[in-house]
Amino acid sequence: MVKLALVGCVKDGILPSETVADYLLFRMNLRDPSVYSDLSLPTNSIHEFLDAVAIRTGKLLKGGVPARDQAADWVVQRWRRGDIDRFGLDVVTMSNIEAQTVGRRDAFSGGETMSLNQARKREKLARKARQYPMTGKSGSLFSSRRIKNK
């Protein structure tokens, strides 16, 4: 959910902005801490990072206290625009791609790769077949009920 909040798929305010910024700092540190060198010295502490960003951008409360929430929102918005750095949040490897492809293979398809919609449709038909087994001469559950009632 934090990844989704970071890219903007979860409404801002559902998760605390400091939490989203903390995850962003974690990902930037994994990638290269120098991507935010113009904002702060490399650090793992979100509080140190947000304090440095708040001071650098002038996001201060009365008495010169850094406004961490505003700084966190500012950092996340800049990352979303691509001003800080551009990188994906998911690890994409050939084994992950192959695992996704194998997951879409269906026993009914004879091992061929199909789209997600095709797999859903086949699963729905299989579920209906299990739920309503074919009986009677015409092959439907409803026709056998009509015969019994006559």
CATH code of residue 40: 1.10.1580.10
Helical residues (DSSP H) of 15-91, grouped into ranges: 17-31, 46-57, 68-81
* Residue-wise pLDDT tens digits, 76-91: 999 999 998 888 888 7
> What percentage of residues in the chain have a pLDDT greater than 90?
44
Q: Within a domain: residue 87?
A: no
pLDDT band at 144 (very low <50, low <70, confident <90, very high): very low
Q: Which of 50, 81, 112 is the last residue of a domain?
A: 81
Q: Left, alpha or beta for 58 (phi > 0: left; psi -120 to 50: alpha)?
A: left
pLDDT band at 127 (very low <50, low <70, confident <90, very high): confident
The verdict on 16 and 62 lying in the same domain is yes
Instruction: Give the mean pLDDT of 14-33.
Output: 93
The verdict on 68 and 107 lying in the same domain is no
Q: Which domain holds residue 18?
A: 2-81
Range among 4-8, 17-21, 89-93 with highest mean pLDDT value: 17-21
Looking at the structure of the chain, the number of domains it has is 2
The verdict on 6 and 73 lying in the same domain is yes
Residue 74 exposed, middle or buried by CB count within 10 Å (0-12, 13-18, 19+): buried
